[in-house]
Each structure stands twice: as C-alpha cells, then as structure tokens.
Amino acid sequence: MQNKIFLVGMPGSGKSTVGLQLAAKLNMPFIDLDQKIEEQAQCTIKEIFAQHGEAHFRELEQKALHNAVESEGGLIIATGGGAPCFFDNMDVIKANGVSVFIDTPLEELVARLNAYEKDKRPKFSSREGLKGQLEELYKNRLFFYEQADLRWNNATETADQLIESLKKLKKLD
C-alpha cells in the first residue's frame, strides 16, 4: 500500500500511540513529526520554544512534514497538535494521503497532560488553568482538525475500527 495516513488532533490525544498501533496492524512504517524535529534539532521541543520561539518551531515542523510527504511508499505520520493549523500544512496533508482527526474528550486530555505530558509541552507549562487552556486551543484548532477525512474517537473506538473506517473510504487495500 502506498498511502500515507496522517494523524491530527490535540496534544495528548494519542496520535503517537494510535500511530504505532496502526503501523503494527498494517505493517507500515511510523514516524512522529515531533520526534523527527527533536532528532534534527538535537534538543527538545520545549527547548526549541524557549531558545528560538514558536515561529521557528513551526518552520521546523513544516519542513519535517514536507520531508515525510516526499518519502516513498506508505507511512503512518503522527503530526504535532498544531501542525495542521499553520502555513498550508493541512492542504499538504489532504493532498498527500488520508487524514484522521483523533478527537479525544477534553477530560481525558486534561488527565493525560496532568499525569505525564505537561512538562514536555511548552504551551502547558502550568497546571493551573489547563482545562481552560485546552478548551481555548481546541476551539481555535477545530476548524483545521475538522478538515480531516475521518473523525475518530479513541475513547470509544478501537484501532481495528479505525482501520475498518479507512477501508470504507477506499483508502486502504
């Protein structure tokens, strides 16, 4: 299969976890754009934000997305939460594969970010107001996420159900 599957959604929605599951089930390679950026920059995303600002990070993110798109063959790609919302990234995603909006309930996002992700995420450096920050971010990004080919709730659906939905779209063999 030659298709690329792009996973989009909020920080902490499970894009990387679901991406790894899909890659195993579909026997396809997986990349996490945030990991690629960190490897290439030789520092964490939080450090990139602190040292160079968000605009620089978004440029690195766009470059990583374009590199993934240019790679040969099928690929599962977990984008960063903001990737679809900057430059023409969502158009690039739509033109080069199938996109899945992983729509995770707000309460689950808050729990995940509070439990283990908060320190990695530059936009959520304080626990105070995390729910409000996430609500605002969701509201601002929903326009972009809703452009995805599929909307999938990982709180109520399995990876196998996602694969079946992708097959119904005729995006998988």
Q: Tens digit of pLDDT for each residue in 20-48?
A: 999 999 999 999 999 999 999 999 999 99
CATH of 4-163, one of 3.40.50.970, 3.40.50.300, 3.30.230.10, 3.30.830.10: 3.40.50.300
Tell me the C-alpha distance between 155 and 48, whole Å: 31
CA distances, 79 to each of 99, 143, 147, 153 (Å): 10, 16, 14, 17
Please give the structure tokens belonging to residue 154.
């990982």
Quote the CA–CA distance of 41 and 23 in Å, as a whole number: 25
Q: Is the dihedral of CA 127, 118, 23, 97 positive or negative?
A: positive
Confidence of residue 1 (pLDDT cuts 50, 70, 90): very low
What percentage of the chain exceeds 90 in pLDDT? Answer: 76
Instruction: Sort residue 96 into left (φ over 0), alpha (ψ -120 to 50) or beta.
Output: alpha
State the chain's mean pLDDT as an integer.
Answer: 90
For 150, the enclosing helix (H) or strand (E) is strand 150-152
Task: Please give the structure tokens belonging to residue 59.
Answer: 């440029």
What is the helix, strand, coil percentage profile of the chain, to 5?
A: 60, 10, 30
pTM: 0.92
Give the model's pLDDT for residue 170: 72
Give residues with Cβ within 8 angstroms of 76, minimum separation 6: 4, 5, 7, 19, 22, 23, 26, 28, 29, 30, 31
